[in-house]
Amino acid sequence: MGRPPSAARRVSASPELEAELLDVARAAARAAATELLARYEQAVEGFATKTTATDPVSDADRAAEAAIRAALAQRRPGDAILGEEGGETVGDGAPSGVRWVVDPLDGTVNYLFGYPQWSVSVAAEDAGGTLAGVVLDPLRGEEVAATRSGPLLRDGAPASVGDGSRPRASTLDVALVATGFAYDARVRERQAEVLRRVLPRVRDVRRGGSAAMDLAWTALGRCDAYWERGVKAWDVAAGALLCARAGLELRELPAGDRLPSGLLAAPPAFAGELLALVGAVD
């Protein structure tokens, strides 16, 4: 998944730099959203598949990433960029030490089917992890954001967990847990076995389809915890920071037994218990 998304390892970065990067991230995410909304529920153009026949990409993904890259080039030309569609590129001139990790359309299948759970994820990182991140829900106009040293923000204001309506679960048995599944059918078969272990031990499980949005919603308390395997750096770079700033514990899931590595975010009260269910590989 690239550099660790947690706040465990840090290098010096001023609050002013973090704020600048967050402002740039917001602008880049909005630029992508403009492209995506203009194409939503229209005829699909430029359709192709990537890792499997169920892993699609379209001109909407490409246009959204191009918009992000243009916004970043204008404001931060010296930064490197890692994007899902365009790969990794270096900045102009001397390296700045900042790399942007962007998913221009997280939840492409949902987007193509008109299922309203998809997002834009933009994060800036240095050698110590994520400095600033934004997950934007273009359909609802909701933005969840944070910097490494700042509070969790919802639409620019400090966010309260669960929007103040429900406290986060303190035990696993009443927790609402989010997850996602791989494109590879063989991996999904193994994930189904893990899911069978989890279901009797929690309140319920939700599968939305956008890992970035799942993490943002978990940070806000709409779900209590999250785990998923097979996620890439661009899926989780922003969302993991949001969860960390919400006080959640981040754990990496090791690869093994037909399962790729992954990420878990959960309250400290039961992070270890959930990890024991989903992190063990036979």
pLDDT greater than 80 at residue 93 = no
For 217, counting Cβ atoms within 10 Å of its Cβ (0-12 exposed, 13-18 middle, 19+ buried), the class is buried
The pLDDT value given to residue 84: 86
pLDDT greater than 80 at residue 31 = yes
User: What's the pLDDT band for 282 if we cut at 50, 70, 90?
Assistant: low
The pLDDT value given to residue 6: 40
Mean per-residue pLDDT for 138-152? 97
The structure tokens listed for 209 are: 């389809």
The pLDDT tens digits for 224-270 are 999 999 999 999 999 999 999 999 999 999 998 789 999 999 999 99
Strands (E), 107-218: 119-126, 129-137, 142-147, 153-154, 157-158, 176-179, 204-207
In the chain, the percentage of residues whose pLDDT exceeds 90 is 77
User: What's the pLDDT band for 43 if we cut at 50, 70, 90?
Assistant: low
Q: How far is CA 86 from CA 52, 64, 115, 123, 158, in A?
A: 18, 11, 25, 16, 33
The pLDDT value given to residue 100: 98
pLDDT greater than 90 at residue 150 = yes
The pLDDT value given to residue 4: 43
What phi, psi does 145 have (nearest 5°)? -145, 165
Domain spans in the chain, listed from the N-terminal domain onward: 15-160, 164-278
The pLDDT value given to residue 153: 97
pLDDT greater than 60 at residue 207 = yes
The pLDDT value given to residue 205: 98
Determine the topology of domain 15-160 in CATH.
Fructose-1,6-Bisphosphatase; Chain A, domain 1 (3.30.540)
Q: Domain 164-278 class? A: alpha beta
> Rounded to an integer, what distance in angstroms lies between the CA atom of residue 234 and that of residue 123?
8
Partnered with residue 256 across adjacent β-strands are 259
First to last CA, the chain: 22
> Rounded to an integer, what distance in angstroms lies between the CA atom of residue 213 and that of residue 141?
13
**What pTM did the predictor assign?**
0.92
pLDDT greater than 70 at residue 164 = no
User: What's the pLDDT band for 10 if we cut at 50, 70, 90?
Assistant: very low
